[in-house]
Amino acid sequence: LYLPYNIPLPNTPEFQPAFIHQVRTLVCLSATAPGLTVILVGDVPLKAQIGTILASEFGSRVQVEKTCLDENGILVTGWEFWREHHSVLPSPQLMVIATLPLPSLENPLVAGRVAHYKRSHQDWFRLYLLPTAVNELQRAIAPARESKAVVALLDSRVVNRSYGAQILSALSPLARINYLEPNLFNASEDNS
């Protein structure tokens, strides 16, 4: 699990350029390793932007939410598409996750559940949002575990917030790194 310390928080203007830089670096480092690269982005405008940027550099290898991919394809996808289609896709050799899949309070169902917890004077974040995100994260990375892929979690809240330890515990077992090496993807090939 690649979990860098120096990524800005997702709700800041500095996050987007830092995220794009990290994705480009990871994709370039993994370019010689065979297999699918999956980039999970919950934010729709950012998903489109990263798809466009990567397509300008890597051409038709890059697809946004499509299941017809080259052997060394790069899939830019949201959580829902990945959840529905990962079983028909090859296991990734690299999975990049932009942010934790915390349910949006803009969704009326989510807002209703949160309101219920608030009325009951319960910790709606720790009792509802966080377990939902952890469950989604565990399901999302399961195919990457099978292939012993590199998973990059670029949400610095995992490092900077008290609930980060709970997320890392739920993703265990893992080998955590906070730096990138040129041979990172060669090592994962040797272990398969």
Q: Are 184 and 148 in contact (CB under 8 A)?
A: no
Secondary structure class of 115 (helix, strand, coil) = helix
Can you list the domains of the chain with their CATH numbers?
Answer: 15-182 (3.40.50.300)
The radius of gyration of the chain from alpha carbons, rounded to an integer in Å, stands at: 17
Query: What integer is the mean pLDDT of 24-31?
Result: 92
With a pLDDT cut of 90, the percent of the chain lying above it is 81
- What pLDDT is recorded for position 146? 87
- What pLDDT is recorded for position 70? 85
Query: What integer is the mean pLDDT of 15-40?
Result: 94
Q: At 31, is the pLDDT very low, low, confident or very high (cuts 50, 70, 90)?
A: confident
Prediction pTM value: 0.91
Cα–Cα distance for residue pair 126/107, rounded to 1 Å = 18
Sign of CA dihedral 60, 89, 150, 82: positive
| pLDDT tens digits, one per residue of 91-140 | 999 999 999 999 999 999 999 999 999 999 999 999 999 999 999 999 99
| pLDDT tens digits, one per residue of 49-105 | 999 999 999 999 999 999 998 889 999 999 999 999 999 999 999 999 999 999 999
- What pLDDT is recorded for position 121? 96
